[in-house]
Amino acid sequence: MAIIPVDYTNPRYDAKALHRFTEEALRKTGLPEAHATELADYLTATDLRGVLSHGTRQLPGYVHAFQSGTYNPRPNIRIYRETAAVVQWNGDGGIGHLASARAIRSAVSRARSTGICLATVTHCGHTGSVGNWTRIATGAGMICLYYSTPMSPLPFDRPEPVVQALNNPPVSFGFPAAEGEPPVLIDMGTHLELPDVQQEIAEISVLPLIKGLAYQVTSVMMTWPVDAQSAIEYRYPGATSSLTAVVLDPAFIGDSTDYTRTVTELRRKVHSMQPLPGLDRALLPGEIEAEREVDFGEHGIPLDDAHIQSLRQLGDELDVPCYWETDG
């Protein structure tokens, strides 16, 4: 949802070739074949939406985390506590993408029977672009509120501003739309801005900073105390993330077609309004990503030289061909 800049003048790279490279690199790192394919799916899908900071750009760091034992490359991701409307997962030190997807799918399944489900995951690694996980719910016609904390416990022992100590916990809120329309999807870190920009903002008004801090605290309160309650003893050193998600089925509130019809009307009205300063259109969150997904799927993903060079270096380390140079 955030206005993530994409340089459309960069060379374009085929998503299938990037996926093939990513999958093979992960297999050579020690991930089971099914997990390697699944994680490659998520990273490539993130690139296709134009969230280039959290897609295959992250691959070298993930590979080295698996190789060093910072993450568990072969986790036994499992439910450790559940009721009809609550399901709690142990990520077993694996990357947060795999645990997040399982948690949301289990919550969707339960919400079909109960109308609502709370899902939590403890002891997992980086959860990636968290819009991936709310999209699972919206694709099933559900509303999803997702919170993740990237570090548990948080480093409150360092003398730094509270917004830095709280880190940048991501949140994503997803709302289903009518068939053929993209979901309304908010996917963002909760840092209002970088520290130097925050200082500039404070000279005008501290109110935006206080509201940004409220977002951070909300995400932390939804995750860290839950993680602290888990009975997990051994932890992989990099698997410091936890998450909490709430999934709701609009059909338990009323007619789900009425819900999506209202979303369509809201979209139409927003499109007719004056855009924010610096923007050329008024859109609902998630629409830019949906447009990029079509464009990049057809014409390739525009990636900068640093991104491609990091993948090429990883390929040299693992003896994985750069398939974007040979495929097609």
pLDDT in tens, 111-168: 999 999 999 999 999 999 999 999 999 999 999 999 998 876 676 777 677 887 888 8
Listed in order, strand segments (DSSP E) in the chain are 12-13, 78-82, 86-90, 116-124, 143-149, 170-175, 184-189, 241-248, 301-302
Residue 191 has pLDDT above 90, yes or no: no
Domain membership of residue 3 (yes or no) is: no
Which pLDDT score is estimated for 276? 86
Domain membership of residue 45 (yes or no) is: yes
- Average pLDDT of 51-56? 96
Domain membership of residue 279 (yes or no) is: yes
Contacts of residue 140, defined as CB under 8 A and 6 or more positions apart, other chains included, come to 108, 176
Domain membership of residue 72 (yes or no) is: yes
Which pLDDT score is estimated for 2? 46
Q: Which of 221, 260, 265, 243 is nearest to 172 (CA)?
A: 243
* Helix, strand or coil, per DSSP, at residue 34: helix
Domain membership of residue 98 (yes or no) is: yes
Contacts of residue 252, defined as CB under 8 A and 6 or more positions apart, other chains included, come to 115, 116
Q: Order of strands across the sheet with 241-248?
A: 78-82, 86-90, 116-124, 241-248, 143-149, 170-175, 184-189
Which pLDDT score is estimated for 328? 58
CA distance 306 to 11: 12
pLDDT in tens, 310-325: 999 999 999 999 999 9
Domain membership of residue 222 (yes or no) is: yes
Which CATH number goes with the domain that contains 267?
A: 3.30.1370.60
Residue 305 has pLDDT above 50, yes or no: yes
- Average pLDDT of 259-267? 97
- Structural domain including 194 reads 12-325
- What tokens were used for 297? 């799927």
User: pTM for this one?
Assistant: 0.95
Contacts of 272-280 with C-beta under 8 Å, sequence gap 24+, read 279/3
Domain membership of residue 5 (yes or no) is: no
Which pLDDT score is estimated for 230? 84
Residue 251: count of CB within 10 angstroms of its CB: 15
Tell me what the pLDDT averaged over the chain comes to: 93
Domain membership of residue 244 (yes or no) is: yes
Residue 283 has pLDDT above 50, yes or no: yes
Number of domains in the chain: 1
- Average pLDDT of 207-231? 90
